[in-house]
């Protein structure tokens, strides 16, 4: 996903890595996409080697030099391919790591599994609080220049995305609480 994000942002206009990183941080993409802002520079270097982006200029600001990247024709093609693939790929909604761990539940002491599940429940409850308390309806910044119609559609989609995220977190919490209930009965 990091490649899709970087290419998408560069598709809109040339940017430097720090600007891309800040864009991702201010929108908390780590919460809703799994894209970590720290992965930007590696992705830019890799995509430069692959010819998807190119270094177009260097800006100097005080002692810092910022490299400005531009998407290439090959990068535009790859962005469109990845975007189509993302729309065609069903979301992953099954907690595969927990399901796999259930297969081998008897290979760890029951007390340890109960402690681990309790910790995951606490972490998910904190995550749910973050997803519930955020202001996900901020208007676009002036640099985004969205039309009112685009913003309305985007707001509805973002709202739906966060409702979906909260529902998944709640489903995982119900599942883990059931596992915890069964494990504590068996003690």
Asked whether residue 152 carries a pLDDT value surpassing 60, the answer given is: no
Asked whether residue 3 carries a pLDDT value surpassing 70, the answer given is: yes
Are residue 103 and residue 175 in the same domain, yes or no? yes
Last residue of a domain, one of 56, 88, 120: 88
Are residue 104 and residue 31 in the same domain, yes or no? no
Are residue 68 and residue 104 in the same domain, yes or no? no
Are residue 67 and residue 118 in the same domain, yes or no? no
Q: What is the pLDDT of residue 137?
A: 47
- Residue 96 banded pLDDT, cuts 50, 70, 90: confident
Lowest mean pLDDT among 5-14, 111-120, 150-159, 165-174: 150-159
Last residue of a domain, one of 88, 114, 143: 88
Q: What is the pLDDT of residue 178?
A: 95
Are residue 77 and residue 103 in the same domain, yes or no? no
Are residue 55 and residue 108 in the same domain, yes or no? no
Q: Are 24 and 15 in contact (CB under 8 A)?
A: no
Are residue 116 and residue 171 in the same domain, yes or no? yes
pLDDT tens, 103-141? 899 999 999 999 999 999 999 999 888 878 765 545 555
Cβ atoms within 10 Å of 3's Cβ, excluding its own: 20
Are residue 112 and residue 182 in the same domain, yes or no? yes
pTM: 0.69
Separation between Cα atoms, residue 18 and residue 70, nearest integer Å: 14
Q: Are 112 and 119 in contact (CB under 8 A)?
A: no
Are residue 107 and residue 70 in the same domain, yes or no? no
Pair of tokens at residue 35: 């894209």
Average pLDDT rounded to a whole number, residues 148-174: 77
Are residue 180 and residue 124 in the same domain, yes or no? yes
Q: What is the pLDDT of residue 149?
A: 53
Average pLDDT rounded to a whole number, residues 135-157: 55
Structural domain tally of the chain? 2
Contacts of 110 (CB under 8 A, 6+ apart): 183, 186, 187
Last residue of a domain, one of 21, 56, 88: 88
CATH of the domain at 75: 1.10.10.10
pLDDT tens, 27-83? 777 777 888 888 999 999 999 999 999 999 888 888 888 899 999 999 999 999 999
Pair of tokens at residue 94: 């099954």
- Which residue range is the domain that position 48 belongs to? 2-88
Are residue 67 and residue 33 in the same domain, yes or no? yes
Are residue 113 and residue 138 in the same domain, yes or no? yes
- Residue 8 banded pLDDT, cuts 50, 70, 90: very high
């Amino acid at each position: 996903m990091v490649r899709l994000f970087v290419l998408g942002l560069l598709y809109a206009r040339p940017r430097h890595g720090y600007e891309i990183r800040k864009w991702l941080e201010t929108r908390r993409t780590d919460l809703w996409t799994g894209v970590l802002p720290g992965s930007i520079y590696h992705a830019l270097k890799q995509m430069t080697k692959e010819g998807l982006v190119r270094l177009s200029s260097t800006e100097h600001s005080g002692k810092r030099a910022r490299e400005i990247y531009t998407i290439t024709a090959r990068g535009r093609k790859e962005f469109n391919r990845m975007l189509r693939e993302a729309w065609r790929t069903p979301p992953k909604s099954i907690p595969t790591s927990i399901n796999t761990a259930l297969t081998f539940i008897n290979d760890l002491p029951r007390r340890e599994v109960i402690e681990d599940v309790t910790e995951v429940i606490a972490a998910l409850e904190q995550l749910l609080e973050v997803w519930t308390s955020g202001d996900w309806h901020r208007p676009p910044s002036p640099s985004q220049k969205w039309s009112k119609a685009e913003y309305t559609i985007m707001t509805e989609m973002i709202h739906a995305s966060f409702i979906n995220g909260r529902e998944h977190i709640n489903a995982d919490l119900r599942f883990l609480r059931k596992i915890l209930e069964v494990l504590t009965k068996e003690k």
